[in-house]
Structure 1
C-alpha cells in the first residue's frame, strides 16, 4: 500500500458474515496485522477480496454508482473480468474507499 494507513480514512467494520466465516476472519486478522507494516498490506487485501468473491458471491456489494472510475470499465467487459470486478467491489467491505477503489 503506497499511502500511510493513518491518512486514508476509517476502515469500515466488516459485516457479520465475514466474522462468521473462519477463512474471512483469518484473512481479516492477517490484514489487520499488516495494516501499518512498512511493506504494506496489498497482498492481504487481494487474498481477502478473492476469497469473498469466490466463497460469498451473494455478499459482494453492487456496482459503485458514483466516484468509481473502474466499475464502468469492468461492467463493459465480458466474463473474463467478472471475478476481478467482484473482487474490486468486495474491497469496500473492509477497506476505506480511497484504497478500495484503486484496483
Structure 2
C-alpha cells in the first residue's frame, strides 16, 4: 500500500534544482524535513500531556528556509500563484510587507499547497 497522500494539496513538491546548489538551502531543507520525525519520536517517548515541540521546530524550520530563500535567492522566488488565496489577497490588497510576501511565495517552492497559505 502506498503511504503517499492522495490529495494533491498534501503533496510535498520536489524542490527546484538550484536549491541543491546552495549549502544553506540544503541544510535548512534537511532540518525542515527532519523536524516532524524528531517531534513524533519525542511524543512516542514522552506521551500525551507534554509539549514535545516547545520551540515550534516544525514551523520555525519552514520559516527559516523561506526567509533564506526570500533574502538570498530573491530572483528565484516565484510570482504570485493565482490559485493561492494568500497570494491573491496580497496582490489585490497589498496588505503584507514585501519581505513577508517573498517568504510566503518562497514556501510554494518546498511546502504542500495545504500548508503554504498558513503563513
Given the two structures, how large is their TM-score scaled by the length of structure 2? 0.71
Instruction: Tell me which stretches of 4 or more aligned residues in structure 1 moved more than 6 Å.
Output: none
**What is the rounded CA distance, in whole Å, between the counterparts of 1:74 and 1:17 in structure 2?**
26
**What is the rounded CA distance, in whole Å, between the counterparts of 1:72 and 1:91 in structure 2?**
15
User: Any residues of structure 2 matched to 1:12-51 within 5 Å, and which?
Assistant: 12-36=13-37, 37-38=39-40, 39=53, 41-51=58-68
Query: Which segments of 5 or more consecutive residues in structure 1 lack a partner in the other structure?
Result: 1-5
Q: Secondary structure of 2:75's partner?
A: helix
Deviations 1:5-30 (A, max 9, x none): x8672211111111110110010010
* Aligned equivalent of 2:97, options 81, 97, 101: 81
Larger radius of gyration: 2
**What is the rounded CA distance, in whole Å, between the counterparts of 2:75 and 2:58 in structure 1?**
25
* Aligned equivalent of 2:81, options 48, 60, 64: 64
> 2:43: which partner in 1?
none
Aligned residues: 96
Query: Which segments of 5 or more consecutive residues in structure 2 lack a partner in the other structure?
Result: 41-52
CA RMSD of the aligned region, Å?
2.0
1:95 aligns with 2:111: yes
